[in-house]
Amino acid sequence: MKLKFVTAIIYFTCSVFYLGQTAYAQWELPKAIDGQSAGTIACMLGTSHASSLIANGSKLYATWSEQDNFGHHWVYTNSSNDSGTTWSTPVKVTDTPMVGKLPYIASSGSRLHIIFYNYQGTLHTYSTNGGQTWSTPTFIDTSLGSQYFSCSSIAASGSNVLIAYSRMTDVGGPIKGFIRRSTNEGDSWSAPIEISEAGDSINHTSLAIGGANTYCAWFDKKGRRIKIRHSSDFGATWGNATTVSSDPTTADNFMISANGNNVDIPIVHATYQYIGGASYNWEQIFIAQSSDLGASFSIKQVSMMYQFYYSSFGAVNLVRDGNRIHILTYKGKAYRSDDGGTTWPGEIGNMSCMHVARTGEILHTINIGSGVMYSRNLHGNRPLYTSVHSGVNTQLPMQVYPNPSSGSIFFNLKKEAENNIYELRIINALGQEVSTNTIHGNTPFEFDSRTVSPGIYFYLLKYNGEDIQSGKILVN
């Protein structure tokens, strides 16, 4: 109980820190979803070039690997049918003691697909019953040595499934990138299609499908650049490669998000300095965007340069909902743009994230902590208030008074809004809704603050699904 009390104090302190400026909805406290079996000594997640967490409506699917005392790595998965409120019992995907690391998951048609690697190559398995049971893993390709580390990725749409991977075709030679595709949900696979260019040496690959358009990007570690190709026939043929970023500080932590003709790629630039025997590491986040099927890209700055104190291993994640773009990182940085990536207001909150998914406005993340930890943000990391209202504000469509209050608080819309119907939500400092109401423009709404505990609350006024006004209220 003492530990929980201290956690609550820290959580409230973080909430109060944002008073007087734009504050963002809080993340729920992380909870373990791995249910580690006896003998498990470590859990592992892959980096973000492919996804270990996906959403399909209100259903969530996550995958990871666990290492036991004997050095075996087992692939697991878990699912939620209620947008992350509850999770089922984890299912072991691999039944034999083999090396199964860095799994990634995708869905197509009626199937879930997982790929993972061991020291012989990349393997694929599928489920036809929502992840309860899985097919016997089969090799997509085999490698020479251990050149599959963190290199494979998967994307799926309908009956089409694509897997990208890297392979050293000649001992001591360059590591090349390949695609294999299936048009029957993984029952059979095409011959390998080389995706990389001559002279490239591949590290990570990333796949994305947006409508009828498929994209494959990779990191060329020789030139420290990200390249991309586009396909309009689900990977049967590919266009010429485009260089997305060729800055020498470009890190290999990236992923692709695709929506039709539009492509978004978050990029990390990393700089390492050694001064007086000490290591100083700096990072900066950018976004590369294309609106012409990946033929050309513009690059915009997302963050200021910041220092970090451990190696540049991790993830940078992006999810998009119309013009709203979220970027979250393994190092706890979170950013949001509401105009399609044109402007970024700065860092908003702190949530360490290896993988992110979205269902409507809800953001979901998984990370490694005391096992595989899941958290969600029910309000999409949106502003909960934009100013402190101490009385009537005639510049806003709704007046809120008295504020602070220990009794009734009235929400009164202006005369020009009297014929409309609105939704009013009251949210506590943890981001939890305590009241949801339908109000008419011609009738003031009365909220009895005695029905809630004293503290800081936020209100959100919505019209036709759009946020109209938000603010803070103080309950004495």
Find, among 408, 469, 411, 470, the residue nearest to 440 by Cα: 411
Region of poorest pLDDT, from 66-75, 80-89, 203-212: 66-75
- Residue 389: phi, psi to the nearest 5? -100, 115
CA torsion through residues 210, 214, 218, 223, sign: negative
Under the banding of pLDDT at 50, 70 and 90, the label for residue 147 is very low
Q: Which of 32-41, 175-184, 444-453 is least confident?
A: 32-41
Q: What is the mean pLDDT of residues 46-73?
A: 87
Buried b (16+ CB within 10 A) or exposed e, 20-52: eeebbbbbeebbebbebeeebeebbbbbbbbbb
For the chain, the straight-line distance linking the first and the last C-alpha, in angstroms and rounded, comes to 27
> Which own/partner pairs from 88-92 qualify as long-range (CB within 8 Å, at least 24 positions apart)?
89/35, 90/33, 90/34, 90/35, 91/131, 91/132, 91/133, 91/134
Structure tokens at 399: 């007046």
3-state secondary structure (DSSP) of residue 310 = coil
CATH of region 24-382: 2.120.10.10
The CATH number of 386-475 is 2.60.40.3080
Residues 6+ apart with CB under 8 A from 173: none
Confidence check: pLDDT of 335 > 50 = yes
Is the pLDDT score of 149 beyond 50?
A: no
The reported pLDDT for the residue numbered 280 is: 63
> What does the alpha-carbon distance between residue 338 and residue 322 come to, in Å, rounded to a whole number?
9
Average pLDDT for 155-178: 86
Query: Would you list the domain boundaries of the chain?
Result: 24-382, 386-475
The per-residue pLDDT for range 382-438, each reduced to its tens digit, is: 765 443 333 333 345 678 889 889 999 998 877 655 567 888 988 876 667 899 998
**pTM of the complete model:** 0.76
What whole-number distance in Å separates Cα of residue 163 and Cα of residue 254? 17
Cα Dmax for the chain: 77
- Using DSSP's 3-state secondary structure scheme, residue 416 falls into helix
pLDDT of residue 112: 97
Q: Is the pLDDT of residue 364 over 80?
A: yes
Cα separations (Å) of 317 from 248, 268, 294, 323?
A: 21, 11, 19, 16
Q: Which helix (H) or strand (E) holds 12?
A: helix 2-17
